[in-house]
Amino acid sequence: MTPTPEDVRAAVRDGLLDGLPPGPPWTALLTIGELRVVLHADGDGALRVTDSPGDAADFGFAISADEWADFCTQPPPRGCTSAQALVATRGDARVTGRREVWARAAGALDRVVDAIRDQVRAPRPRRPDPPTPTAGLSPIEGRYLHVEVRGEPRRIYFEQAGDGLPLLCLHTAGADSRQFRYLMEDPRVTDHHRVIAFDLPWHGRSDPPPDWQHRRYRLDTETYEATVLAVIDALGLHRPVLLGCSMGGSMALYLASRHGERFTGVCALEGGLGNPGRFVEWTNRVDVDHSSFLVSWVGGLIAPSSPAAPRAETLWGYAQSGPGVYQGDTYFYSVDFPRHTADLVPASCPLVVFSGEYDYSATTEASREAAERLGGRLVEMRGRGHFPMSEDPDGLAEHLLPVLAELRQEQGAHTP
């Protein structure tokens, strides 16, 4: 199972690094079990391999024989979906030498390690892409909303589609409302729900404050809570269903506990009570391209079987994130939010927590703990990842649609 130098040379084909940004040349000592090779990148897309471990290298990256066996398993276990996933789940001590060079090369290293795996065993199968939408106007409509949040004016962009019980959606860290476009174009949902998704300030088409160039963005629990409630009030939403993912799932848990009476029900996708490991320096450093690093940092959270096109769309959203925005969001998720969870009480509305098998940011174990603490129920989604609504919309639908039907019945039981 351990690859040979010949396997590595065959894997490192021309064009492997196409699309990655140019930069300074770098070298890396790659260790996989007993294999030791040096990767030489010229900084403009060309890569060559030598099997002389004595060659000087800017950084080293090591994968043990047991980890490599897991990485090549079909399907792989959680945390063995990319080189970056191994760093996040099995320890960053595998990175030695100049870590800032590793961070700049992270996207390239992901591709190299994936290519070596696919050289020694068959590539991983993926679920089919969703059907191409019919030509013409989408049912999604976009507008701006002016609200006040904690004494400051905010101009918030939102999109909506459908009619019926409102379904308000909260996006993930460093992303925006585009993550919910599949949901907004699915008549199985929009025939029954007015689906609304908005961009938090600093995200997507919701502007930051005018003095953004002189601020370091840091999202906190009180501001996030106030923003969601301000949108609900301004749109006149009466007891909507709240659906949030990742940090949006965490806020959904918080609101179910603090303001459950305002919701028909709450669906927390990949929702936990915080994870300190997601706040890292490499997502906002002047010597590291944050957009390139983020694609690597979140890429391992996507399930290995997720369709190729939605996967690429999900990662493109992260490549477009404003500088420091993802890090500011993970400040909420990893630093601030955990300070506010100790006194949370059981939700006063129906609460369902959904957990994808491949999510190592809000693990199934963490989602189960949150559901039990807040009196909700856990829905485990085998084979799914951290961004189910955008990376595998049909995969989410099979779990979400029955829950939405239950909540509509709940609403009917409380309607005079």
The domain that holds 302 is classified in CATH as: 3.40.50.1820
**Host domain of residue 37:** 5-120
CA distance 76 to 66: 12
Is 47 domain-assigned?
A: yes
Q: What is the pLDDT of residue 274?
A: 87
Band of pLDDT at residue 48, cut at 50, 70 and 90: very high
pLDDT of residue 56: 84
Q: Quick one: pLDDT at residue 342? A: 94
Structural domain includes residue 62: yes
**Residue 125 pLDDT:** 87
Least confident of 4-18, 118-132, 199-213: 118-132
Q: What is the pLDDT of residue 275?
A: 86
User: What are the pLDDT digits (tens) for 171-189?
Assistant: 999 999 999 999 999 999 9
* C-beta of residue 282 within 8 angstroms of C-beta of residue 289: no
Give 290-336 pLDDT, tens digit per residue.
999 999 999 999 999 999 999 999 999 999 988 999 999 999 999 99
Tell me, yes or no, whether 136 lies in a domain. no
pLDDT tens for each residue of 326-385: 999 999 999 999 999 999 999 999 999 999 999 999 999 999 999 999 999 999 999 999
- Per this entry, what is the length of the chain? 416
pLDDT surpassing 80 at residue 216? yes
Digit-coded pLDDT (tens) for 232-254: 999 999 999 999 999 999 999 99
Say yes or no: 366 and 270 in one domain: yes
Task: Name the domain count of the chain.
Answer: 2
Report pLDDT for 411.
77
In a domain, 131, yes or no: no
Do 77 and 219 lie in one domain? The reply is: no
| Span 36-64, average pLDDT | 91
Please check whether residue 96 is in contact with residue 60, taking contact to mean a CB–CB distance below 8 angstroms. Answer: yes
Q: Does residue 416 have a pLDDT over 60?
A: no
Looking at the fold, whether 176 and 83 belong to one and the same domain comes out as: no
Mean pLDDT for the chain overall = 95
Q: Are residues 92 and 235 in the same domain?
A: no
For residues 372 and 246, membership in a common domain is answered with yes
Q: Do 153 and 111 share a structural domain? A: no
Rounded Cα–Cα distance for residues 53 and 24 (Å) = 21
Question: Are residues 116 and 146 both part of a single domain?
Answer: no
Res 88: pLDDT: 95
Between the two ends of the chain, the Cα-to-Cα distance in Å is 65
Distances (CA, A) of 379 to 143, 320, 352, 403, 414: 33, 31, 7, 10, 24
| Least confident span in 1-5, 69-73, 135-139 | 1-5
- Among 86, 120, 154, which residue terminates a domain? 120
The CATH number of the domain holding residue 71 is 3.30.1050
The answer to whether residues 207 and 58 belong to one domain is no
- Confidence band of 415 (pLDDT split at 50, 70, 90): low
The two beta strands, 35-41 and 26-32, are: antiparallel
**Residue 88 and residue 213 share a domain:** no
Task: Please indicate, yes or no, whether residues 72 and 197 belong to a single structural domain of this protein.
Answer: no
Share of the chain above pLDDT 90, in %: 92
CA distance 175 to 194: 22
Average pLDDT over residues 148-168: 97
Residue 340 lies in a domain: yes
Q: Model-level pTM?
A: 0.96
Residues 314 and 75: their CA atoms lie apart, in Å, by: 21
Using the predicted structure, report yes or no on whether residue 272 has a pLDDT greater than 60. Answer: yes
Sign, CA torsion 169/413/229/356: negative
Q: Determine, yes or no, domain membership for 137.
A: no
How much of the chain exceeds pLDDT 70, in percent? 98
Whether 242 and 329 share a structural domain: yes
Q: How many CB atoms lie within 10 A of CB 125?
A: 9
In a domain, 135, yes or no: no
Q: Say which residue, 274 or 226, is predicted with more confidence.
A: 226
Of the residues 64, 86, 120, the one at which a domain ends: 120
- Does the pLDDT of residue 52 top 90, yes or no? no
Query: Which pLDDT belongs to residue 217?
Result: 96
Q: Judge whether 134 lies within some domain.
A: no
Asked if residue 100 and residue 62 are part of one domain, the reply reads: yes
